[in-house]
Each structure stands twice: as C-alpha cells, then as structure tokens.
Amino acid sequence: MTRNALPLLFGVAVLLLWQAAVVGFDIPRILLPAPTEIFAALIADPSTLFADLNQTFFHSTLIGLGIGCASGFGAALLVDRSPFLRRGFVPLASLAGALPIVGIAPIAVMWFGFDWPSKAAVVAALTFFPSFVHTVAGLESVGALERDLMVSLAASRGQMLRKLQLPASLPFLFAALKVNSVLALTGAVVAEFFGTPTVGMGFRIATEAARMNIDRVWAMIFVVALCGSGSYAIIALAERRLAYRS
C-alpha cells in the first residue's frame, strides 16, 4: 500500500495546490479553471456527456479498434506464410506506423459520411499497423529449438500455429493492444476536428475551446483521460490473468 501512497499523495498535493493557486492568485479562468469548477462542469449536463461518450468511445473508438486489430492480425497470419512477403511488408508497415495517418480523416468523411463510421475508419487505419507489426514479430518470436521440436513431431502448419506460434505471440498481441487502445482514442477524438455531426468528445473539445468555455474543455479531457486509462487498465488486467512467465 505504501507503494501507492506516494504517487497518490503527489496527485492530491497537485490538485490542492492547483485549487489554491487558481483561487489565491485569481488566475483568469480562461487560462486555468479550478478543479472544483471543472468538476461542476463535468456533472452539469450528463445527457450531453453520455451522448458524446457513446458516439466517440463506444462507437468510433471501440468499433474502429476492433476492425483495425482484427485486420492487422489477419494480415500478419497471411504474411507469416511467406518469408519473402514478410521481409517486404514489415518494413513498409513499420514506416507507415510513423506517418501522420490521422490526416486521412477528411478522406474518410468523403467515403463514409460525417457520422461515426468515418471516425471508426480512421481508427481502424491507425491501429492496423501496430497490430500487424506486433503480430508478425510475435509469430516470429518462436525459438529455433521449439520450432525444431514441432518439426520433429511432424506437426502440421495449423498445429504449429495453434500450439506454438499463437501462444508465444500473446505478449506481443497485448503490447499491440496497449499501444492501440490509446492510439484509437486519440484518433477518434482528433478525427472529429476535421468535421463531425454536433456530437462527440472531439467535437465538444473543439467547440467549447472556441467558445472559451475552458472548464468544459477540461471536464471533457478528464473524461477522455478516464476512457484511455480505463481501457489500458482493463487490457493490463487481462494480460496479467492470461500471460505466462518464462
């Protein structure tokens, strides 16, 4: 417990100091609202909050994340069959992962409309590459001895995959999921900066910022942060239950 106490104490101290500074020095609210004001803004309009959450997190983010991870995984399984293709596609995919893919958001709007499907498409494109690269690395991570073992047992390709390669790549799949959960949320929020129906967390942040309602912006950022850390925590928990020690 003492291990958690120190960072907790630090967090509380920052909050208190923040509140005291904003009130004490009378900092303009447009620069920095007090934590209490942010909290008030957070609970002021729950129906809008839930609509935004539903749109951006439960539709754009999660559906896009699902599509991106699954297709990256599938593509990796295909490429794993040919060392030649693997050597060609993996460097390209790693490079693509470093490119500003969110920029396709306006294209996605033209293809899938203003509503959440276009955001989910951006999220899927963003999460595809980490999923692909990590899965390929995982399938390749099997040691030479273990591979020889399966060959000596005359195991079929499917058995090699199911009993050796997939279990061995579990840590890699979780790493991809962790990276992607944050990436997906960012992508869904940012894609809304390029145009959206009048709902969504990214839309809310952009419009409230333009209206100088900084307390509402902070409240929404708090919600986004909660979604991000929440999904990360769930994945980390699942990993601890499923992962093995070596």
Partner 1 sequence: MSDTTVEARGLDLVFGDVAALSEIDLTVARGDFVSLIGPSGCGKTSLLRVVADLAQPTGGTILVNGTTPHAARLARAYGYVFQAPALLPWRTVERNVTLPLEIIGLPKDERRARACQQLESVGLAAFARKFPWQLSGGMQQRASIARALSLQPSLLLMDEPFGALDEITRDGLNLRLLRLWEATNLTVLFVTHSIEEAAFLSSRIVVMSARPGRIVEVIESDLPRGRDLDIRDDASFHALAHRVRTALRAGHSYG
Partner 2 sequence: MKESRALPIAVALAILLLLWYAAAVALNWTQANGDLLATMSLAKPLLPAPHQIAVEFWNSTAGQRIDSKRSLIFHAAVTASSMLAGFALGVAIGLLLAILLVHVRVLDRALLPWIVASQTVPILALAPMIVVVFGAAGLTGLVPKAVISAYLSFFPVVIGVAKGLRAPDRLQLDLLHTYDAGRRRVFTVLRWPSAMRFLFPSLKVAIAAATVGAIVAELPTGAESGLGARLLAGSYYGQTLQIWAALAMASLLAASGVGAVVLLERLVIRARGGRL
Contacted entry of partner 2, partner 1, none for residue 7, CB cut-off 5 to 8 Å set by kind: partner 2
With contacts defined by CB under 8 A, name the span among 53-61, 140-148, 200-208, 215-223 that binds partner 1: 140-148
Closer Cβ to partner 1, 32 or 170, answer by number: 170
Give the integer Cα–Cα distance in Å for 9 and 14: 9
Q: Which of 42, 70, 71, 146 binds partner 1 (CB under 8 A)?
A: 146
Q: Which of 102, 123, 139, 176 binds partner 2 (CB under 8 A)?
A: 102
Q: Report, in Å, the least distance between residue 237 CB and partner 2.
A: 13
Give the number of other CB atoms < 10 A from CB of residue 98: 8
User: Tokens 């900084």, residue?
Assistant: 214
Contact status: 43 vs partner 2 (CB under 8 A): no
Contacted entry of partner 2, partner 1, none for residue 15, CB cut-off 5 to 8 Å set by kind: none
With contacts defined by CB under 8 A, name the span among 9-17, 37-45, 74-82, 156-164 that binds partner 1: 156-164
Closer Cβ to partner 1, 138 or 228, answer by number: 138
Contact status: 41 vs partner 2 (CB under 8 A): no
DSSP 101-118: GGGGHHHHHHHH-SSHHH
Q: Are 199 and 52 contacting, i.e. CB atoms less than 8 angstroms apart?
A: yes
With contacts defined by CB under 8 A, name the span among 17-25, 70-78, 145-153, 219-227 that binds partner 2: 219-227
Give the integer Cα–Cα distance in Å for 68 and 217: 29
Contacted entry of partner 1, partner 2, none for residue 63, CB cut-off 5 to 8 Å set by kind: none
Q: Are 72 and 184 contacting, i.e. CB atoms less than 8 angstroms apart?
A: no
Give the number of other CB atoms < 10 A from CB of residue 198: 9
Closer Cβ to partner 2, 108 or 150, answer by number: 108
Q: Which long-range contacts (CB under 8 A, 24 or more apart) does 110-117 make?
A: 114/195, 114/196, 114/197, 115/196, 115/197, 116/55, 116/56, 116/59, 116/60, 116/63, 116/200
Give the integer Cα–Cα distance in Å for 97 and 72: 12
Q: Which of 109, 122, 142, 168 binds partner 2 (CB under 8 A)?
A: 109
**Count of residues of this chain found to bind partner 1 when the rule CB under 8 A is applied:** 20
Applying CB under 8 A, which residues contact partner 1? 143, 145-146, 148-155, 159, 163-164, 167-168, 170, 244-246
